[in-house]
Amino acid sequence: MVTDPTSTAALLNSGANAANAGTASKAADKLSQEKNPAKSQVDGKKLAEDFSQFLLLLTTQLKNQDPTEPLDTNEFTAQLVQFAGVEQQLATNANLEKMISLSQQSRVESGVAYIGKAIDAEGNAGFLAGKQAAFVYELPDNVKEARVTIMNEAKQTIFSGTGAVNKGKNLVSWDGIGNVGTANGKQLPSGAYYISVKATGFDGKDVTGVKTYTTGRVSAANFDKDGNLNLEVGTLDIPVEKVLAVREIPNG
């Protein structure tokens, strides 16, 4: 069973921090908007300046025109129409920026819903925190033996043993102590580790259809440089679209 290593005090502190972070986030958003205004705002300001300059030129020309040869108003009318068209396009762009911002905010809120829960995602990783790590694999029917191998980030085998052979998902709870090579008997450092599972059937042949998952407790949600929402599990960033299952972590 996956257990949450976070203490009650830490959870209470994280709740208080979250409230403070919410206020700080709003202030930061306001400051960011002041320092980095939306492109439509910048373009709108430039358009207003250009339009004021245009009206000044128009007024000056009208004042100084030759009464016997008045200016062609068609040209000015065409320019006014162009200004109106650009202004309408800027308004459309501003609305699009608001929609994108609301969409991103909605995605952040959906990411927050994962925090504190355990997830299973595409992959084969688990995160060792202190002396506890969990890995999940899935087996088909009629498996006699499941050989579980755990590797470090350098893909070196540091633990090997047998696992449960139940049909469906099986959980591996590991205390972080290696039993292979130079890792034998050592408490290994916290970090990401990876699992592989080789299943054998009752006929002695390798069983196909074995699946592994990246699993762990979500501590945060963030956007990468491309705007994709990721969930943090330890030092791992897991794209939210790769999440296959979410479950509550039982107390105790």
User: What mean pLDDT, rounded, does the chain reach?
Assistant: 77
Q: CA separation (Å) from 178 to 161, 228, 235? A: 11, 35, 20
With a CB cutoff of 8 Å and minimum separation 6, the contacts of 230 are: 221, 222, 223, 224, 237, 238, 239, 240
Range of the domain at 201: 118-247
Residue 177 and residue 218 share a domain: yes
Residue 59 and residue 127 share a domain: no
Q: CA separation (Å) from 236 to 17, 87, 176, 213? A: 22, 45, 17, 13
Q: Where are the beta strands (DSSP E) in the chain?
A: 118-122, 125-128, 133-139, 143-151, 157-163, 168-174, 191-201, 211-217, 220-223, 229-233, 236-239, 243-247
Does 155 map to a domain?
Answer: yes
Domain boundary at 112, 141, 163, which?
A: 112
Residue 142 and residue 53 share a domain: no
Residue 101 and residue 58 share a domain: yes
Q: What pLDDT was estimated at residue 249?
A: 79
Domains contained in the chain, number: 2
Residue 234 and residue 153 share a domain: yes
Does 8 map to a domain?
Answer: no
- Asked if residue 209 has pLDDT above 50, the reply is yes
Does 1 map to a domain?
Answer: no
Q: How confident is the model at residue 27 (pLDDT cuts 50, 70, 90)?
A: very low
Taking only the tens place, the pLDDT of each residue in 104-136 is 666 667 778 899 999 999 999 999 998 899 999
Residue 128 and residue 243 share a domain: yes
pTM over 0.85: no
Does 252 map to a domain?
Answer: no
Residue 164 and residue 129 share a domain: yes
Domain boundary at 95, 112, 129, which?
A: 112
Taking only the tens place, the pLDDT of each residue in 150-159 is 999 999 999 9
Residue 207 and residue 137 share a domain: yes
